[in-house]
A and B are shown apart, each in its own frame.
Chain A
């Protein structure tokens, strides 16, 4: 079952800058789908449209069966989002930040405790958000995105700027999220991350999807050992070496 369905999606800023030029892809229920591509390729724009922050210029977008932008209220209630470089209320504690989002998503009070437990945040519950390390801030971001028990998560570059250990922690958390039956649309430009986590990938380049496949299929196509090598070979073939 398709949980995200995008057809011929266009986004043009200020009637001139074409950020997306007719992309088509879908995300199956229960899978981790990664959008890969260089900076400025259109990954964040795609996530912003799917999470109902930005309007599409043209094309059909359905999230959990609801049309975007017409039924955005319903989408926002049902989807969790981890934006790039998430910042909470900096002088609220971890617990207060999570409680705020649980209340916004009309989650159960007990969910605050559950989320802190499942994301190993109990020890930091009274720590102000501003005093957390990058890795723990990302944990809080994920906890907040799980408020209200969403069935779909959009994660925009969730490991950017993290040290290797924190990145690994976030990977484990994403894997746990998938185990809970939550579908994930992930954007990243870390190819090792995409290879480890993704069921399927979409490669976006200059506002267009240039490949839709599994990491294994792409590696096989370019006869490479890693997704990174295969990706670089693809980019080279597109003239972006």
Chain B
């Protein structure tokens, strides 16, 4: 372990002394967050979104009003997180939960729903507002998961490829450093830069009014999720031919971008086509985002399934990555 830490320190210092690396560690995630927060934030919504539970045809009806965009869903928390109005219809009882800033729209919405349900004798409305969450809370917490993904996978494949290309690995391979220490050194580096990258994102979040709940469990989980993705990076790099290093980086790109965009990092699960929903829901980044949101946004204990799922993947990827990413043929 001593050699792994010595190596991690050398890699950290080497990379953080480079302006290019600093750009990718600090500014690139900030740009990405800004693009998503400003591009897809509540201000950019052309219509007020209404999530309807219990009456799909009401969602279609709302779409025809030109005032509201109706979608079908049952997750009230997710709806409010996206600044959607949430409508739950149960016979003649209608519950409306809305973000506080949308209170001026509620009378119109009530009238439209009343009109739609005109066949029902008495419609009773129960209306409440939530201060709750904003899309910024959602996107910034999702961005933290994205950072662990991109730093973990690209970090290992990119940094290791660079050291192979520079032939530093030739020298290290002849030293007493063991292969697993080398992999651990790279992984520790990825964890450190993920933590560094997270700070400016959270500061940006503050500017958008997002007050994250920073806890030891959040930091620990962020480290574990980076460990998992770094393990995945080690698997990719270990399987790639060392005389064709571009293969590792291409494979990392091919894997990371679909994982990033087919996840709940920027868009709610309900925004995806039904065929993709199971993939989006259970792919590792979405599960990580669920846990991160539970910890930093909702202040609730994450589900045991989510944590266990990530723990198993972490052990599997780190073990296989450590076995595949050999420094030398003799290991």
Q: Considering only CB atoms and an 8 Å cut-off, how many residues of chain A contact the other chain?
A: 34
Which residue of the partner chain, among A53, A55, A88, A128, contacts B174 with CB atoms under 8 Å?
A: A53
Which residue of the partner chain, among B3, B11, B168, B328, contacts A104 with CB atoms under 8 Å?
A: B3
Q: Return the CB mask of B35-74 against A: 1 if under 8 Å, else 0.
A: 0000000000000000000000000000000000000000
How far does the alpha carbon of A54 sit from the alpha carbon of B330 in the complex, in Å? 6
Taking the complex as formed, is A231 at the interface, i.e. its CB lies under 8 A from any CB of chain B?
Answer: no
The listed residue with most A CB atoms (<10 A of its CB), out of B167, B176, B177, is: B176
Taking the complex as formed, is B15 at the interface, i.e. its CB lies under 8 A from any CB of chain A?
Answer: yes
Find out whether the CB atom of A86 lies under 8 angstroms from the CB atom of B167.
yes
Q: Return the CB mask of B81-92 against A: 1 if under 8 Å, else 0.
A: 000000000000
Q: Return the CB mask of B162-189 against A: 1 if under 8 Å, else 0.
A: 0000111011011111000000000000
Find out whether the CB atom of B6 lies under 8 angstroms from the CB atom of A104.
yes
Find out whether the CB atom of A51 lies under 8 angstroms from the CB atom of B17.
no
How far does the alpha carbon of A79 sit from the alpha carbon of B17 in the complex, in Å? 31
Q: How far is the CB of A186 from chain B (nearest CB, A)?
A: 15
How far does the alpha carbon of A51 sit from the alpha carbon of B174 in the complex, in Å? 6
CB-CB < 8 A to A53: which residues of B? Answer: 170, 173-174, 328-330
Q: How far is the CB of B68 from chain A (nearest CB, A)?
A: 55
Nearest residue (CB) in A for B170 is A83
Q: Return the CB mask of A97-109 against B: 1 if under 8 Å, else 0.
A: 0001101111000
Taking the complex as formed, is B196 at the interface, i.e. its CB lies under 8 A from any CB of chain A?
Answer: no
How far does the alpha carbon of A106 sit from the alpha carbon of B3 in the complex, in Å? 10
Which residue of the partner chain, among B3, B13, B167, B174, contacts A92 with CB atoms under 8 Å?
A: B13
Q: How far is the CB of A154 from chain B (nearest CB, A)?
A: 8
CB-CB < 8 A to B6: which residues of A? Answer: 100, 103-104
Which residue of the partner chain, among A76, A87, A92, A106, contacts B10 with CB atoms under 8 Å?
A: A92
Find out whether the CB atom of B14 lies under 8 angstroms from the CB atom of A90.
yes
Taking the complex as formed, is B18 at the interface, i.e. its CB lies under 8 A from any CB of chain A?
Answer: yes
Q: How far is the CB of B140 from chain A (nearest CB, A)?
A: 31
CB-CB < 8 A to A154: which residues of B? Answer: 174
Q: How far is the CB of A103 from chain B (nearest CB, A)?
A: 5
CB-CB < 8 A to B176: which residues of A? Answer: 73, 76-77, 104-106
Find out whether the CB atom of B330 lies under 8 angstroms from the CB atom of A55.
yes
Find out whether the CB atom of A91 lies under 8 angstroms from the CB atom of B328.
no
Q: Size band of the B side of the interface?
A: 20 to 34
The listed residue with most B CB atoms (<10 A of its CB), out of A72, A104, A128, is: A104
Taking the complex as formed, is A28 at the interface, i.e. its CB lies under 8 A from any CB of chain B?
Answer: no
Q: Return the CB mask of A60-78 against B: 1 if under 8 Å, else 0.
A: 0000000011001100110
How far does the alpha carbon of A104 sit from the alpha carbon of B170 in the complex, in Å? 15
Find out whether the CB atom of A83 lies under 8 angstroms from the CB atom of B17.
no
How far does the alpha carbon of A79 sit from the alpha carbon of B171 in the complex, in Å? 12
Taking the complex as formed, is A199 at the interface, i.e. its CB lies under 8 A from any CB of chain B?
Answer: no
Q: How far is the CB of B167 from chain A (nearest CB, A)?
A: 5
How far does the alpha carbon of A87 sit from the alpha carbon of B166 in the complex, in Å? 6
B residues at A contact (CB < 8 Å): 3, 6-7, 10-11, 13-15, 17-18, 166-168, 170-171, 173-177, 328-330
The 7 tightest CB contacts between A and B, nearest first, are A91-B17, A81-B174, A89-B14, A87-B166, A51-B174, A69-B330, A83-B170
- What are 26 A-B contacts defined by CB distance under 8 Å? A51-B174, A52-B328, A52-B330, A53-B170, A53-B329, A54-B328, A54-B329, A54-B330, A55-B329, A69-B330, A77-B176, A83-B170, A83-B174, A84-B170, A85-B167, A87-B167, A88-B171, A89-B11, A91-B18, A96-B13, A103-B3, A103-B6, A104-B6, A105-B176, A106-B176, A128-B17
A residues at B contact (CB < 8 Å): 51-55, 68-69, 72-73, 76-77, 79, 81, 83-92, 96, 100-101, 103-106, 128, 141, 144, 154
- Extra contacts, 9 of them, besides A68-B330, A83-B167 (Cβ < 8 A), are A52-B328, A53-B173, A72-B330, A76-B174, A87-B166, A87-B168, A87-B171, A91-B15, A91-B17
